[in-house]
Structure 1
Amino acid sequence: MPNRPRKNASDSLESLTRKSKTQKKKEALSLQELGERLVKMPPEQLDDIGLPGEIYEAVQFAKTIKSHGAYRRQMQYIGALMRKIDTVPIVEALNNIEQGYYKRTLTFKEIENWRDELLAGNEELIDEILIKCPDADRIKIAQLVQTALKEKEHNNPPRASRVLFRYLRDIRSEQSGP
């Protein structure tokens, strides 16, 4: 029987801290997915993140690739570049941008809902709007609703409806502003 080297305490500690092949693959895949999120971003938001030069260029190049195989390889390359840097600031910046987009979408949908409810005849909603946005003018809202209803009745383009939406958006943004 050959003599095997004995394992000592430092060898067992090393084996505990070493990552398995599966764990390494999962991390590589998550970095590729992070790269995909970066590729899908508009250029002005991408500039705000402050990516290292090589990764920024790789992401910009990936946006121009049409071939599926080449795109996949580029994503793997971006993942490999990401393994060399600390990705926590990039993930935080991405999450902040995406949360801001989500909040804006919710606000837009809420304002759209207000307009539709007002045009459907829900006059109690004006009170709710005034509670949320104390700077709103009850008379102006009522006038805009009446104008929009008249336009709808005469089958005119919904100009007043758009004006009502803009007014509601403006008072909502003033309320939740800086």
Structure 2
Amino acid sequence: MRKTEDTEDSYFVSKSQRKRDMDALQDLGKKLTEYAPARLKKVPMSENLREALVEMARLTANGARARQLQYIGRLMRSEEVEPIRAALDVIEGKSHAEVARMHRLEKLRERLLEDETMLTEIGNEFPSLDLGRLRQLRRNAIKERAESKPPKAYREIFQILREMDEGKHGASGDDQDEDLEVAGE
């Protein structure tokens, strides 16, 4: 008779479950191949996986792509998967935090267009920001709206606000965004 150990650390995973887990990792690897290598720069992964993804983008033959996809799946087994999934959610805009951050920035842009005093508040919050440029973009955006022109300046204001926000908070907007929002109301 075989004696089995019943410890809290031992956990049995069936062969079928391991296969499902491997397939899920390979599917995640396949999803990574759908993005341009430049877009994946912020995704935390090993250098080997990054190189394999770049190589996958270069391949054209179906057989070579299938082999490379298998290799990527094998590399995925040694990766931290949750940070990769979270980064992909941010890239795809699925992250609730990222959606909320974008909404905050859109509200800030709208308040800026409605009230010029928001320039002072934004300047106090972000002293390195070129307020003259932002003021000019605000005027241009208001003029574009009035003349029903394409919203070039309107979009550029959002880009500046987003870059400013990323510079202050990294890739995620935190409670300090809400402080700026409350200050403007």
Give the shorter-chain TM-score range: 0.5 to 0.7
Match of 1:30 in 2: 24
Match of 2:178 in 1: none
Q: Does 1:148 align with 2:141?
A: yes
Match of 1:3 in 2: none
User: Contact 1:111–1:168 (CA<8 Å) still a contact in 2?
Assistant: yes
Q: Identity of counterpart residues, as a percentage?
A: 28
Q: Which ranges in structure 1 are unaligned for 5 or more consecutive residues?
A: 1-6
Change (3 A) 1:26 1:125: farther
How far residue 9 of structure 1 moved from its aligned partner, in angstroms, is 0.9
Q: Does 1:40 align with 2:45?
A: no
Q: Give the one of 86, 95, 104 matched to 1:110.
A: 104
TM-score by length of 1: 0.52
Task: Give aligned pairs, total.
Answer: 159
Which structure has the bigger radius of gyration? 1
Q: Residue deviations 1:17-49, cap 9 Å, x none? A: 664221221222122123224323432436973
Output the amino acid matched with 1:94: I
Q: Residue deviations 1:29-81, cap 9 Å, x none? A: 122123224323432436973343xx5565444433575x8756653453345
RMSD, matched Cα: 4.9
Match of 2:84 in 1: 94
Quick check: which one's helix share is greater? 1
Q: Give the one of 31, 49, 52 matched to 2:45.
A: 49
Change (3 A) 1:33 1:11: same
Q: Which ranges in structure 2 are unaligned for 5 or more consecutive residues?
A: 172-185
TM-score by length of 2: 0.51
